[in-house]
Amino acid sequence: MEPRLRWRRSCRSPVSAFLRDPGSGRVYKRGKLIGKGAFSRCYKLTDMSTSAVFALKVVPRGGAGAGSLQPRGKVGLCPQVEREVTLHSRLRHRNIVAFHGHFADRDHVYMLLEYCSRQSLAHVLEARQTLTEPEVRYYLRGLISGLHYLHQRHIVHRDLKLSNFFLNKNMEVKIGDLGLAARVGPGGHCHRVLCGTPNFLAPEVVSRNGHSCQSDIWALGCIMYMVLTGTPPFMAATLSEMYQNIRDGCYPEPAHLSPNARRLIARLLAPNPAERPSLDHLLQDDFFTQGFTPDRLPPHSCHSLPIFAIPQPLGRLFRKVGQLLLNQCRPPCPFTPNKASGPGEDGSDPDSMECSETSLLERETPGLEVPVHLLTQGTLRSDPAGPEGSPRQEVEVAIRKLQLCLNPGPSAKSATCPTGGRYKHSP
């Protein structure tokens, strides 16, 4: 049978309900389909002897130009699968999907990977439409850590996108799907091939000058833009127009974002690779150093807006702001002290505040939007509108104190991104 036809048939061939690793003798039970791509499918997998749960990546076995790798005594892996197994099996990092082994049968190659029960960032964005800046800082820190680990080992991912970032039960972000990953050569570039997802391709890749570590950094800029605005930065009617916009670094200006977020996006999406920040210095950008980053995210943030715990030294200050609103605004402000879970004289923690999501969304207490915006966006916003002598003016005094405490730079203004505006990167 012709190799390409055999490969297509193996793509469609069913995967057995029970699989046996011929090397270890372990038997696994295949569960539900949890994802699929152009060249692979992914299932939930359970070890019958230990009940350990994995993600099973199934890749067609056949193809022209079979490689020399021989997993468990089998032969005939295509070069791309061989490269993926070789690279991924040697990686150990908390922000990279763990590789637990592989085996093969006549039709398929099976890779046992870490199971991430919270699915991917693509699922999160589909449910949420956009994410807040504190969430984006949280996710980017993990992605930068994992990507830095790859680049230190001279590996470029070449297909960074939301559907390849997975979340485990603890909401830790993991870089996965290394099917297009490759080692960079002595000049810091891979072969000059056009591969990846069009919306995330760097200008040098579109121009067929090859992938590099800086190409992955460009993709981070596209990802940051997309999760904050809900759309990719380079949308166009045709692929050729999109590629031209990518070469020019021309995208709609996200005017509703904080100044620090806009500046970092512009740095990451610099058309000249040499002008993009390195991963070594990326976390020193003002977007990270002058904004709130949560230590972890609650699981419900996969589908709804999270309410962040307030870090010190803002706890006491927010308690004063909350008390001010409680005393002067009607209906009462939803900011209330947490119930103490341990011994306490008055049953409250003066440094811990909480408010229900329903209260935040449904109440329209004057002046309340300011601290709420700080909680959700990690930036300060003030609205001069309001009657003179109203509680809003009292809130403005507290906000000025917060500005002195945080010193985040210019306040972020709430605005709608202009549909016709275009941002042209300036060197």
Residue position matching structure tokens 């699968």: 81
**Residue 413 labeled ligand binder:** no
Could you give all domains of the chain from N- to C-terminal order, each with its CATH number? Answer: 26-114 (3.30.200.20), 121-301 (1.10.510.10), 308-339+351-406 (no CATH)
- For residue 181, name the pLDDT band (cuts at 50, 70, 90): very high
Per the model's pLDDT, the better-predicted residue between 393 and 197 turns out to be: 197
Residue with token string 């070449």: 158
User: Which of 101-115, 183-197, 314-328 bottoms out in mean pLDDT, i.e. has the lowest?
Assistant: 314-328
Q: What is the pTM of this model?
A: 0.71
Mean pLDDT (whole number) for 359-377: 44
Residue 67, classified by CB atoms within 10 Å of its CB into exposed (0-12), middle (13-18) or buried (19+), is middle
**Alpha carbons 63 and 6: distance in angstroms, whole number:** 7
Cα 312 to Cα 349: distance, rounded to the nearest angstrom: 13
The mean of the pLDDT values for the chain is 77
Q: For this structure, is 21 an active site residue?
A: no
- Looking at residue 78, its pLDDT comes to 77
| Distances in whole angstroms, Cα of residue 21 to Cα of each of 32, 72, 262, 365, 386 | 19, 8, 50, 62, 70
**What's the CA gap between 244 and 222, in Å, rounded?**
15
Q: Which is higher by pLDDT, 315 or 125?
A: 125
Model confidence pLDDT, tens digit, residues 30-86 = 999 999 887 889 999 999 999 999 999 999 886 433 343 444 444 456 788 888 999
- What confidence score (pLDDT) does residue 74 get? 43
- Dump pLDDT digits (tens) for 226-267: 999 999 999 899 999 999 999 999 999 999 999 999 999 999
Point out the catalytic residue in the list 159, 177, 216, 285. Answer: 159
